[in-house]
Every structure is written in C-alpha cells, then in structure tokens.
Structure 1
Amino acid sequence: MKDVALRSGVSQSTVSFVLNGLEDMRISRETRQRVMKAVEELGYRPRGAGRPPKSTSAGVIGLMFDEIATSPFAAISIEGVQEAAWKANVIVEVVMTGGDPDYEAEVLKKWSGDNAIGVIYGSILTRELAAPDGLGRHRGVLLNCSDGASRYPSVVPAERRGGEVATHALIAQGHRRIAFISGEPWMQASDQRMEGYERALRAARIPVDPSLIVEGNFLPSGGRAATLKLMQEGRNPDAIFCANDLTAVGCYEALKELGEVPGKTVAVMGYDDQEIAQHLSPSLSTVLLPHREMGQWCVEQLLSGDTSPVQERMSCPLILRESHHIQGAGS
C-alpha cells in the first residue's frame, strides 16, 4: 500500500479508502483512477486484514499492547497478527492497556472465560519485562519483548545484527569516519544498535572513536543537535548512522543548515524504515524493523501448539536507497 501511495502521489489513507470502495469520501474520480492505475501497474492485492471471517468457529486470539499511538509500529504489528489469523479463520481482539496491571488482569480474565486460543502480549518498546500473572492461564507469546523468566515464546528484532549490517553497508562504500547518533541510553533498541555499530567497526579494524558517538533522543530535535555537535571543531565524519529515521530527519536538517548535502558530502543511514524515509531528499537508506513479520510469527506460534519458550530474534533487512553513498567515495 505504501508503494501504491508513492506511485500515485497520495496518502496511504487515500489508497485505503479507494480500495475499500468508500464512495462517501470526497475523493475525485481522477484521484481514484490514478490510485487504481498504480494498483494495476504494481500488481498490488489488498490484504483484507481486519475484516471478520464468515465463520469464527476457530475462535479468538487476544492481542494486548501497553501503547498503540506512540509510533506506527503497533499498527503494523496488528496488521501482521490479523493477516495470519485471518488465514486460519480466527478473529483478533485488540486492547491497549497503558500498562495498567489491574486492567490487564481483567482483560486476561475475560479472555480466559471466552476460551481464547491464546494471548499475544506486546510492548511498543523492545524490552525485557515481567509478564502479568494472568497470562499464565493462557497459551501466551510475547511480541517485541521478552520475559526474564523465559516462560513464554517471544520474538524481538535482531537489533545488534541490524546495527552491524547498516554499519557494514557504510564501510563498504569506503567510509571510515562513521559517526553514530544514539537514542536515549536507557532504550534497549538504541543500546543494541550501537553494539552492532561498534562490532562492525572492529570487524573492519576501524577504531571506535568515542568523539564520533553522540547521544540523541530518537526525535528530529536530537538528530539535529547531535549532528551540529558532530560537525563542529573540524571533526566532520564521512557518514552518520542515526539510531532511527526520525533522528535522520533532524540530521538532514542540520547538514543542510551547514551547507552540506546529505548523500553527497556526508552519507547518512537511518533505522526503522518509517514511511518518511522514502520521501526525504535524498531518499534515506535504512534498516527495516520486521513488525509485520513478528506479528505473523506470534500467531503461527500460538496455532502450532508448541509451548516451548523459544526466543526468536528476527532479522532486520537492509533497505538501500540513496543517502548512504557519497559520489566518488568507495566502490
């Protein structure tokens, strides 16, 4: 759907409304035709996720998130869960608890009474946590988090490997002074991405330079401030690896303020593959967080009947666009 929106020059919401045949929306005939032309050219087939199946004899899976609205990733995970459940003729019930343990307990009790097939317990931030006691009444699986006691199957992104792959891509372009802008230090994802960055440098026999590592906050404001700091005092890096795509937005802004050209005078790498990565100029090379695939894995795990507490670390693919390569640098 993202590709259809990009090809037709409209938002993903517009594509969704056109494909769902909503005639009461004030979308022009020309826009509808443009969207459908892009659909045909790209061979796109709507997933039909979220529509209740004709028969729900197979039951219900509960999906519990602490937060949903703070990032796009919860929605992507929900789509992945719904797609996999739809294929098995299963309905998904989604709740957002805000991390309230009393509310979690009541919902888990309700799903127990409904004889739910299982429960997916998800966190918006990748972290280790103590799963609620009520989850023990269910066949449970953890999404984007892990249980310190290793009682449940869980799936998280392979963040260290993602950071390593991203840094290797910059090294392959001939960059040697590679900076890293982190998220806040308490964030597991940021910490592990930095570990991968350092691991890749050491593997290439490039010394880890502490002056090229600057703390950000996973927001454009932090990316801008960190980039300005990196570019002062003649410490200019060849490339800047940003711990997420929003940080890269601020990095681009700072570089342009300084008269630099992202992807030409300083290479930039992001992480997450948020939609904005495609629309930056130049388009942002980044690493995909596999939230859709993680959601699908959780459903498959529940339906398989395998209750062993496997700990899955899912690969984060590299998405190469334009920003990681400086003209005339490397191969």
Structure 2
Amino acid sequence: MVKSKRQAAGTRPTMMDVAAAAGVSQATVSLVLSGSKLARLTDATRRRVMETAEQLNYKFVRRGPRTTGQATILFIADEASTDPWMSLAFEGVRDKALDFGVNALMAVSHADADLETSILSSLRDQSILGIVYGTILTRQVGLPAAFGAHRTVLVNCYDEQGALPAVLPADLLAGRVATEHLIGLGRRRIGMINGQQGLDNPRDRLRGYKQALTSHDLAFDAALVKPGNWEPSSGYAMTMELMAQDNPPDAIFCANDLMAMGCFEALKQLGRKIPEDVAVVGFDDREIARFLHPPLTTMVLPQYEMGQTAAELLLDSAGGLTTGPNRIKVECELIQRGSTLGAKQLAGVAEPAE
C-alpha cells in the first residue's frame, strides 16, 4: 500500500501527498478528484490518481453551505476556469481548515461586487470564521463594504490601502531563481519571453531576471526580452524572433509553461536541440510540463501552499493571535527536468510514465 510521510506521522494526508505518490502535479489531482471533464488527461492518469487517493485514504469532499452553526471558512474566487489555480488554493484552505475541525466552502463571484455582497448576506445565519478572497490573476482588488464585517485574507491579490493581510507568490524571487539556474549551467545569453504587460506577475518576474543578471555581472540586453500573452502561439513567435538575432540566446526563460510549449516547437523547427543548444525554463508546473520532450524545467506556482497560509492566518486571528496587515510571499520551487539538464544527467533521465 502507498503510504506518505505525513500518513506515517499520523497526519491527515493532503492533495500534495496524493500528487507526490501518483507522480503527477497538484493541479492534476484537483482536476481528477473534482470530476472535471475539461482537462485533457488520459484515462490511465485519472485511474492512477483515483487509486492513489484511495490507498492514502485522502478524502475529497464537495462541501456546500451548512446551517449547523459550525465555524466555516468561506473561500470566494473571482473566477472559475479551466485553469486549476483557484481550486488548488481552495484545497489548501480546506485541508488546513479540516485539521482544526473547521468547515470550508467555495463560491465564485466573477468579481461582481453585488454578487459578493449577496453571497455574504445569504450566509449571515452561519458561523463564519473568516473569508479568503482569491483571484486568478495577481492584481489589486477593491472589496465591497460587506467584507468589513468579517476577518478577510487575500490570496493572489492585495488591496490598495494594505489594510488586509495578503498571501502572494514570490514572483520576483522566482524570476531570479529561474535565471540563476540557467546562469549556473554556464549560459550567458539568456532570453526571456514575458507574460501579458500591465500585470504584477510579469513585472516581478522580469525584475528577478534583471537582478540575477546584475548579480552575475551580465549586462541586461533589452533585445533579449520579448512580450508574450501567456499562449503557446506567442512563445513560438517570440522564440523565432529571439533566434533570428545575430547573437541568439543559449537559454530562454518563459514566464509560463504554455509559452514554453511554443518555444519548444520553434526551437525544434529551427533544428536546435533542447537543452544542448538552448536550455528552457517555464513557470507554473502545469501537468503538460512533465510530458514535453524533453520534460520542462519549471517554477511551481504555489497556489495550494498560499491557500494553506491564508487559512492559517484566519485561524490564528480567530484564536486571538493578530499580527496586523501584511503581505506574505510564498516561494516558488524550481523543478529541474530535462530541458536544463547537462549531458551526463540527460543520459540517466527516463521517459515520463503515462
């Protein structure tokens, strides 16, 4: 029987444990256990996740409103889409809440202030311990006055006044770590395909990229930074532009995995080997990252951990431990795979299991 370290220690298994034991991402576990039909997952992957969850005795519970008076953490997401980010954040909230015997439920508001006020009004007969408000994109938010009656923690967003605690991904540090990883491989001309302009994540990831170059006495070259739009098509087009330069890059940092997919296609069309000719790093750790050829080195977007941290802040506040408004940055882990491995390491890398 599969057994996680947490289980061996007598701790309730989490979605992270299921993902590690099944050899898939947290996003895949969330999509499979929620019954999503939108994700392009093989039957073998779905079956492996379900069997692993059963072996670990991981309980995935769809929870609706309860009127028993039990304390509840309400998670309000601004958007539900094929991206699993808010589902992952909710699972982090839910797992942490269950450890303390607290219920958790999720609602989607589509960033509609009237709908958010209505959601809170409909739950006034319940014992609400607090609210976690999350957004798909890292951005500034302005919440309706109704939130003022509840403890509130923000996930992947922040308020202008800084009046509410916020849990955010450490994008600046992640940009630096990704770039330094490439520098550590001996790459000296590192391109970057960034995300949609005007958003917080691309801005901070670019700052981290620049900091890493400066720390290693490498000059910043604006020609090596190209604007993308998060889609594979822009990764492909921008890679073509980068590689058409007289002195093309020997490494490319893509601000998300989807653009890295397009980058792979362009490099292969040009006859460039990955990573021998050009090393590639992505961002998000989507399920597709491990099934590219070679598998993609990437930074994890820590939505699950962010949800857990938000729940901890609410539980601490409910217990009388209040530290005041602050912004907590959760580190993004580097997952090294074939797209940045050296020749000797590549020789020992097996093909990903189906």
The TM-score normalised by the length of structure 2 is 0.80
Which of 326, 329, 334 is the matching residue for 1:313?
Answer: 329
How far the C-alpha of 1:50 sits from its partner, in A, is 2.6
Moved segments of 4+, more than 3 Å: 1-7, 11-18, 34-40, 51-58, 325-328
Aligned CA-pair RMSD: 3.0
How far the C-alpha of 1:317 sits from its partner, in A, is 1.2
The correspondence of residues 121-136 of structure 1 with structure 2, limited to 5 A, is 121-136=133-148
Cα contact 1:4–1:38 (8 A) shared by 2: no
Would you say 1:322 and 2:338 are equivalent positions?
yes
The correspondence of residues 125-204 of structure 1 with structure 2, limited to 5 A, is 125-204=137-216
Which of 71, 75, 81 is the matching residue for 1:63?
Answer: 75
How far the C-alpha of 1:292 sits from its partner, in A, is 0.5
Check 1:132–1:13 CA distance in 2 against 1; reply closer, same or farther (3 A cut).
Answer: closer
The correspondence of residues 29-44 of structure 1 with structure 2, limited to 5 A, is 35=48, 39=52
Matched letter for residue 327 of structure 2: Q
Cα contact 2:22–2:52 (8 A) shared by 1: no
How far the C-alpha of 1:153 sits from its partner, in A, is 1.1
Would you say 1:109 and 2:121 are equivalent positions?
yes
Check 1:51–1:86 CA distance in 2 against 1; reply closer, same or farther (3 A cut).
Answer: farther
How far the C-alpha of 1:57 sits from its partner, in A, is 5.9
For residues 133-153 of structure 1, give each alpha carbon's deviation from its aligned partner in whole angstroms, at most 9, with x where no partner exists.
Answer: 211110111011111111111
For residues 258-312 of structure 1, give each alpha carbon's deviation from its aligned partner in whole angstroms, at most 9, with x where no partner exists.
Answer: 1112212110000111111111111111111111011011111111124421210
Partner of 1:49: 60
Would you say 1:275 and 2:275 are equivalent positions?
no
Cα contact 1:56–1:90 (8 A) shared by 2: no
Cα contact 1:50–1:82 (8 A) shared by 2: no
SS in 2 for 1:117: strand
Tell which deviates more after alignment, 153-162 or 109-118: 109-118
For residues 126-174 of structure 1, give each alpha carbon's deviation from its aligned partner in whole angstroms, at most 9, with x where no partner exists.
Answer: 1122222211110111011111111111100010000001100000000
Check 1:119–1:270 CA distance in 2 against 1; reply closer, same or farther (3 A cut).
Answer: same
Cα contact 1:270–1:285 (8 A) shared by 2: yes
The correspondence of residues 21-32 of structure 1 with structure 2, limited to 5 A, is none
How far the C-alpha of 1:44 sits from its partner, in A, is 6.6
Give structure 1 stretches of 5+ with no counterpart: 19-26
Check 1:196–1:134 CA distance in 2 against 1; reply closer, same or farther (3 A cut).
Answer: same
How many residues of Structure 1 are paired with residues of Structure 2 in the alignment? 313
Partner of 2:6: none
How many percent identity over aligned positions? 37
C-alpha separation between the residues in 2 aligned to 1:14 and 1:141?
A: 25
Check 1:241–1:111 CA distance in 2 against 1; reply closer, same or farther (3 A cut).
Answer: same
Cα contact 1:267–1:324 (8 A) shared by 2: yes
SS in 2 for 1:141: strand
Matched letter for residue 309 of structure 1: P
Give structure 2 stretches of 5+ with no counterpart: 1-17, 36-41, 345-354
Which of 233, 236, 254 is the matching residue for 2:248?
Answer: 236
How far the C-alpha of 1:2 sits from its partner, in A, is 4.0
Check 1:147–1:278 CA distance in 2 against 1; reply closer, same or farther (3 A cut).
Answer: same
Cα contact 1:245–1:273 (8 A) shared by 2: yes
Partner of 1:21: none
Tell which deviates more after alignment, 245-254 or 109-118: 109-118
Partner of 1:22: none
Matched letter for residue 192 of structure 1: D
The TM-score normalised by the length of structure 1 is 0.86
Matched letter for residue 128 of structure 1: Q
Check 1:13–1:95 CA distance in 2 against 1; reply closer, same or farther (3 A cut).
Answer: closer
